[in-house]
């Protein structure tokens, strides 16, 4: 008997088509810690908007026993990693059990259900192999999100792809469209091909979203290893190579997804152009469009601030913003022992720590950095937060470097535990939200959207979503980008100089000398961010441009 579930609303006629949304992580709400960063935040917003728009969608993910990881400090304040077992009493057991094949062995799978009323999402199912029927190795498949072991990572893809497809069969809920949100669940494509024995039947059901041009996010794996582990659902290697048009012994997961889907999308206009430049020379790829990422307004925005904004009450907006800063500064004081001043311009850099995002760009000119942080006339407070991958020792090294530097300044702090709750506090409590990726490397970068919904002013390089929003000195500040043909270290130096020039000559003078103009910036940002960057627009576009397309 299948598990009874339903959407808690009458399906909107515009969104009747049945869609299953496969994603490795979902950042839905703080208590459900199964997300790493931007991809999860985006998926959580999508599931909330699909609920608000009454769409006929179901989410499929994995219930990570130890989450991503808990970010802690060592005794010298540098970063430490803790994998702690998580318990979620608000998830319901489905009682469904079935097997998938991993390395030619049967692995038992069950699913937990997140009812829509818990967090106002569409129905979402989370798969796990943490069952007494499995040996320890099989149980570890669903232990850690983005496990560093390559074979465990492949097994997790099989769990999400093949396991998700089998779960939907057990539920007797057959989607019209299967949405691969990134290539992690690629075995789904091979399972469906095996089921229908027809490449065209597969393609008409499969769509794909790519979220990054970075090499680390577009894996390539030896075909023999994938075959040995059961990634191809018992389809012979020769046939796999034929349908994916793969030459040689290495499978490019993103390229395979582009060849097996009937349509794909990038997550900003700039990203779609970057994707086209990367992939258009390859034979057999599907059409690629852009659907710009967005964040769920109802979840992220500061309602008190918007109410004062609608009442055109600048004094009340100022009061609320000061209170939000004090709320954030309580966390800073608790974690770092530093008391911040709510009248001082507070700059926040908070996102997943990755090399191309350049969290340490401030330190490319330490003389300018000293001038900035020691300026008594136009003082600043700078806060960093973000979680590198737990085995990304280069990223952890950058985090620790910033910790060591920040220790010597009473107005610089590094926070740990960058999850949804802290993300909201940082966005509400910041005056400036900083984004400085190497140009063309940021596919979207959605954190600045939620920052604008909380009265923070974006100061950023024009990459990802930002060029679609930014109106320089009207709703944000655009950092003048350098020539991207320059070597990385040259780009870093030039972009750091542009950042300092902008802060010293325009951002800080406006904040301190022209408070009325600063308030206009805040209000223009709050106005311009919606509805274009509310995920309701995004969720509607996915139906109109991706799911309904022929």
How confident is the model at residue 352, as a pLDDT?
A: 86
- Residue 134: is the preceding peptide bond cis (ω within 30°)? no
CATH number of 298-533: 3.40.50.2000
How confident is the model at residue 550, as a pLDDT?
A: 65
Q: For residue 543, what are its two tokens?
A: 């139906």
d(CA 398, CA 545): 40
How confident is the model at residue 1, as a pLDDT?
A: 52
In this structure, what DSSP letter does residue 179 have?
E
CATH number of 18-295+537-547: 3.40.50.2000
Closest by alpha carbon to 468, among 449, 496, 441, 455?
449
Measured in whole angstroms, the distance separating CA 529 from the mean position of its chain's CA atoms is 18
Element (H, E) at 126: strand 124-128
d(CA 368, CA 495): 13
427 contacts 447 by C-beta, under 8 angstroms: yes
d(CA 258, CA 252): 10
Beta-bridged to residue 127, according to DSSP, are 62, 111
SS3 502: helix
Q: Counting beta carbons within 10 angstroms of the beta carbon of residue 339, is it exposed (0 to 12), middle (13 to 18) or buried (19 or more)?
A: exposed
d(CA 253, CA 412): 41
Please list the ranges in the chain whose pLDDT falls under 70. Answer: 1, 550
d(CA 13, CA 15): 5
Q: How many residues does the chain have?
A: 550
What is the per-residue pLDDT across 95-152, written as a single tens digit (0 to 9) for each? 999 999 999 999 999 999 999 999 999 999 999 999 999 999 999 999 999 999 999 9
What is the per-residue pLDDT across 286-316, written as a single tens digit (0 to 9) for each? 999 999 999 999 999 999 999 999 999 999 9
d(CA 45, CA 536): 9
d(CA 459, CA 347): 9
Q: For residue 388, what are its two tokens?
A: 């590198």
Domain ranges of the chain: 18-295+537-547, 298-533
How confident is the model at residue 291, as a pLDDT?
A: 97
Q: For residue 97, what are its two tokens?
A: 């059990």
How confident is the model at residue 143, as a pLDDT?
A: 98
Domains 18-295+537-547 and 298-533 share a fold: yes
In this structure, what DSSP letter does residue 295 have?
B
d(CA 488, CA 461): 15
213 contacts 274 by C-beta, under 8 angstroms: yes
pTM of the shown model:
0.96
Element (H, E) at 56: none
What is the per-residue pLDDT across 10-42, written as a single tens digit (0 to 9) for each? 999 999 999 999 999 999 999 999 999 899 999
442 contacts 435 by C-beta, under 8 angstroms: yes
Who's near 242: CB < 8 A, 6+ residues apart?
none
498 contacts 482 by C-beta, under 8 angstroms: yes
Who's near 169: CB < 8 A, 6+ residues apart?
none
d(CA 14, CA 276): 30
Closest by alpha carbon to 146, among 354, 292, 299?
354
Q: For residue 500, what are its two tokens?
A: 């300092």
How confident is the model at residue 441, as a pLDDT?
A: 86
How confident is the model at residue 450, as a pLDDT?
A: 97
Beta-bridged to residue 208, according to DSSP, are 180, 264
d(CA 227, CA 247): 15
Place of tokens 């720590």: 353
Q: Where are the alpha helices (DSSP H) in 53-186?
A: 116-119, 136-139, 150-158, 164-171
* CB neighbourhood size of 88 (10 A): 15
What is the per-residue pLDDT across 56-75, written as a single tens digit (0 to 9) for each? 999 999 999 999 999 999 99
How confident is the model at residue 306, as a pLDDT?
A: 98
d(CA 411, CA 44): 33
Beta strands in 157-281 (DSSP E): 177-181, 206-209, 220-222, 250-252, 263-266
d(CA 464, CA 124): 28
d(CA 519, CA 512): 11
292 contacts 267 by C-beta, under 8 angstroms: yes
459 contacts 476 by C-beta, under 8 angstroms: yes
User: What would you report as the CA-atom Rg of the chain, rounded to the nearest whole angstrom?
Assistant: 23
In this structure, what DSSP letter does residue 286 have?
P
d(CA 322, CA 453): 16
Torsion angles phi and psi, residue 155, rounded to 5: -60, -40
CA torsion, points 489, 491, 497, 501, in degrees to nearest 10?
-160
């Amino acid at each position: 008997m299948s598990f009874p579930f339903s959407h808690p609303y009458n399906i909107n006629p515009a969104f009747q088509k049945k869609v299953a949304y496969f994603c490795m992580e979902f950042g839905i709400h703080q208590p459900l810690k199964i997300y790493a960063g931007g991809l999860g935040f985006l998926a959580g917003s999508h599931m909330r908007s699909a609920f608000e728009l009454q769409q006929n969608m179901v989410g499929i993910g994995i219930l990570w026993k130890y989450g991503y990881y808990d970010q802690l400090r060592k005794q010298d304040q540098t970063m430490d990693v803790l994998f702690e077992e998580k318990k979620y009493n608000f998830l319901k057991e489905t009682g469904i059990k079935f097997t998938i094949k991993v390395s030619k062995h049967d692995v038992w799978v069950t699913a937990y259900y997140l009812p829509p009323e818990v967090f106002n999402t569409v129905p979402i199912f989370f798969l796990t192999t943490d069952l007494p029927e499995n040996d320890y190795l099989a149980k570890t498949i669903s232990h850690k999100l983005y496990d560093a072991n390559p074979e465990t990572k492949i097994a997790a893809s099989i769990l999400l792809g093949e396991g998700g497809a089998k779960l939907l069969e057990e539920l007797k809920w057959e989607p019209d469209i299967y949405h691969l949100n990134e290539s992690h669940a690629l075995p789904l494509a091979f399972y469906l091909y095996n089921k229908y024995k027809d490449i065209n039947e597969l393609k008409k059901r499969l769509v794909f979203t790519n979220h990054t041009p970075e090499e680390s996010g577009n894996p390539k794996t030896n075909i023999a290893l994938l075959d040995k582990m059961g990634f191809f659902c018992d389809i012979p290697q020769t046939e796999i190579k034929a349908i994916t048009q793969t030459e040689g012994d290495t499978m490019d997961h993103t390229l395979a997804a582009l060849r097996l889907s009937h349509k794909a999308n990038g997550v900003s206009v700039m990203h779609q152009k970057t994707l086209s430049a990367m992939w258009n020379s390859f034979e057999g790829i599907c059409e690629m469009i852009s659907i710009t990422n967005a964040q769920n307004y109802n979840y992220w925005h500061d309602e008190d601030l918007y109410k004062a904004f609608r009442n055109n009450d600048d004094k009340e907006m100022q009061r609320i913003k000061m209170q939000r800063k004090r709320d954030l500064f309580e966390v800073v004081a608790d974690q770092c022992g530093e008391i911040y001043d709510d009248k001082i311009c507070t700059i926040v850099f908070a996102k997943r720590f990755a090399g191309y995002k350049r969290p340490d760009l401030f330190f490319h000119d330490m003389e300018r950095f000293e001038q900035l942080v020691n300026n008594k006339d136009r003082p600043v407070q700078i806060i960093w937060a973000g979680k590198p991958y737990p085995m990304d020792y280069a990223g952890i090294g950058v985090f620790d470097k910033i910790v060591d530097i920040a220790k010597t300044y009473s107005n610089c702090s590094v926070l740990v535990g960058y999850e949804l709750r802290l993300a909201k506090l940082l966005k509400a409590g910041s005056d400036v939200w900083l984004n400085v990726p190497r140009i063309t490397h940021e596919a979207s970068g959605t954190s600045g959207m939620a920052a604008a919904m909380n009265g923070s002013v974006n100061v950023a390089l024009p990459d990802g979503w930002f060029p679609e929003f930014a109106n320089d000195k009207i709703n944000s500040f655009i950092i003048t980008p350098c020539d991207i043909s320059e070597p990385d270290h040259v780009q870093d130096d030039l972009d750091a100089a542009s950042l300092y020039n902008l802060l010293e000559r325009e951002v800080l003078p406006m904040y301190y000398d022209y408070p009325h103009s600063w308030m206009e910036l805040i209000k223009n940002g709050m106005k311009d961010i919606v509805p274009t960057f509310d995920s309701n627009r995004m969720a509607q576009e996915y139906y109109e441009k991706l799911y309904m397309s022929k």
